[in-house]
Amino acid sequence: MLGWGADERNFLVGATMLRLMGVKRVRLLTNNPDKIDAMIACGIEVAGREPHLFAPNGVNDEYLATKAARFGHMLD
């Protein structure tokens, strides 16, 4: 309704901070494939992914289903 994109985050600042600290390679705690691609695009090697494990519980079912359907989140 506000006209914003679904996810307007920019990972360039975080990637720059990691590089300044000498970090060139990370394992990300994420279910979001776009976040992995964004870090790679910013010059940070993604060595792997650790998933957030949130089981559907009757309260978050629709939220998790939306994340998977609309944004391709990996809910494994």
Determine which one of 7, 19, 27, 37 is catalytic: 7
Structure pTM? Answer: 0.76
7 catalytic? Reply is yes
**DSSP secondary structure, 10-60, as one string:** --HHHHHHHHHTT--EEEEE-S-HHHHHHHHHTT-EEEEEE-------SSS
pLDDT tens digit string along 36-70?
Answer: 999 999 999 999 999 988 888 999 999 889 889 98
34 catalytic? Reply is no
Q: SS3 of 45, please?
A: strand
pLDDT tens digit string along 18-35?
Answer: 999 999 999 999 998 989
